Structure 1
């Protein structure tokens, strides 16, 4: 704001000396506050629309296998808590979830609406898809019809279908990390394969290519950067999880290459 006031004052001073400086400074402050108000209003609109579109599509996804189970409803309620939605936001999220379950729900139109609202920012779109994959995998089983709809959602967002595989690989990596040595774990080669999927590179990628992919993903998915573009604060925890998963995948590959050298 200080810069806007000074610029306005200097412009005013050029036309009317000290009196012009005061008038210009006042105009500069007014313009700054108007722009700030519009920016905040736009961010709030994006945040509200993000939540509603997320749960509307989630409702459609849960209905993909023909019926919304009690477990899936509980999963949606758990998401309300995870995203720390207040009562007003929960009411809107429930209404959106029910709208998504309705037979007349237009999934493609909803995805197009979200694309326009989000400015088609890749990290936003990936976060949107990540929520859907996390939701459908909450019960540990992904029905074929649900998987087919996840692919449709990815296409509707303009994302490659491989993004679904990437997110599923992230979930597997997170679950194996939580499982501990005593739980049924995947083989080391499976974990490494998933790590490459998470970073979106092939196993033949050079160390330099691997590092570039890692840095690009970390930059795109930085929680502060996403928040500045309108990501709801309630989604921050999931954004932080995504960056941890990316870092974990990078570490898995680095360790494997070190052992192989």
Structure 2
């Protein structure tokens, strides 16, 4: 604000001395406030659009295997609370979820709409996909039809199919980290999933693995995502993602130490 006023004032002073300085400073402050208002409005539109598209696509995904289970409905309701939606936002989210379940729902059009709203920012697209993977896996089973739709969603958003494998591996890792969560997994299965989470092969060097880890942590930092328009209510999910990335890195490091 002060910088804009000074610049505006100096320009005004060059044309009208002190009176010009005052007028120029006022104009500078006005333009800055207007720019801030536009930015806040754009972020609000992005956040509202994010939530609506998330739940519309979620409804379509949950219906992909022919039936929407009670677990999937409860997951959607849990997300209403987790995203801290107010009453009006919940009503809009429920309507979007129902819209996504309708036979004539146009999945591609909804994804294209979200692409426009998000500006195609990779971090927001990845978070969008993460929510979908979490929702359809709520009943403990990922049906082939659901996996196929997840791949279709990823491709439409311009994300590689490996993103789906990465998120599914991340989800399995999160479940195994909770007492009684999911089926017991061998250390080899955990290690294979850890490589998928980091997006590297088991033959990658230590340097390549560290580079992939740092890149993912930087891209998925909650503060950075918030600055790109991710709703504050989704910060917890972003933090979970970074924890799973960090956990995968630790699994790989420990396995390599034991093998050395």
- TM-score normalised by the chain length of structure 2: 0.96
Q: What SS does structure 1 have at the residue aligned with 2:91?
A: helix
CA RMSD, 1 decimal: 1.4
In structure 2, the residue matched to 1:117 is 117
Give the distance between the partners of 2:118 and 2:207, measured in 1 at CA. Answer: 32
Q: CA–CA distance in 2 between the matches of 1:154 and 1:184? A: 27
Distance 2:216 2:19 in 1: 52
1:196 to 2:198 alignment: no
* Conserved 8 A contact 1:4-1:28: yes
Pairwise mapping of residues 248-259 of structure 1 onto structure 2 (< 5 A)?
248-259=247-258
Q: What do residues 158-177 of structure 1 show as CA deviations (whole Å, max 9, x unaligned)?
A: 11111111001001111111
Cross-structure match for 1:245: 244
Answer yes or no: is the 8 Å Cα contact 1:125–1:157 preserved in 2: yes
In structure 1, the residue matched to 2:14 is 14
Deviation at 1:247, TM superposition (A): 0.7
Matched, 1:169 2:142: no
Alignment of 1:127-146 (within 5 A): 127-146=127-146
Give the conservation status (yes or no) of the 8 Å contact 1:52–1:96: yes
Aligned to 1:233: 232
1:30/1:58 Cα in 2 relative to 1: closer, same or farther (>3 Å)? same
| Counterpart in the other structure of 2:204 | 205
| CA positional deviation for 1:183 | 8.1
Q: Paired residue for 1:40?
A: 40
Instruction: Describe the SS at the equivalent of 2:204.
Output: coil
Task: Quote how far apart the aligned CAs of 1:27 are.
Answer: 0.5
Secondary structure in structure 2 of the residue aligned to 1:201: coil
Query: Number of paired residues?
Result: 260
SS at match of 2:158: coil
Contact 1:179 1:185 in 2 (8 A): no
* Whole-angstrom distance in 2 between the partners of 1:254 and 1:68: 40
Which residue of structure 1 lines up, in the alignment, with residue 88 of structure 2?
A: 88
Deviation per residue, 1:200-223 (Å, 9 max, x gap):
011111121111111111111111
1:6 deviates by 1.1
Task: Give distance in 2, aligned partners of 1:215 and 1:49.
Answer: 30
Tell me the equivalent position of 2:57: 57
* Structure 1: unaligned runs, 5 residues or longer: none
Question: Which residue in 2 is equivalent to 1:215?
Answer: 214
Of residues 63-72 and 153-162 in structure 1, the stretch that sits farther from structure 2 once superposed is 63-72
Distance 2:198 2:62 in 1: 28
The 8 Å contact of residues 80 and 90 in structure 1, kept in 2 or not, is answered as yes
Asked if the contact 1:11/1:21 (under 8 Å) is kept, the reply is yes
Q: Equivalents in 1 of 2:23, 2:188: separation in Å?
A: 69
**Distance in 1 (alpha carbons) for counterparts of 2:13 and 2:118:** 41
Separation in structure 2 between the aligned mates of residue 114 and residue 96 of structure 1, nearest angstrom: 13
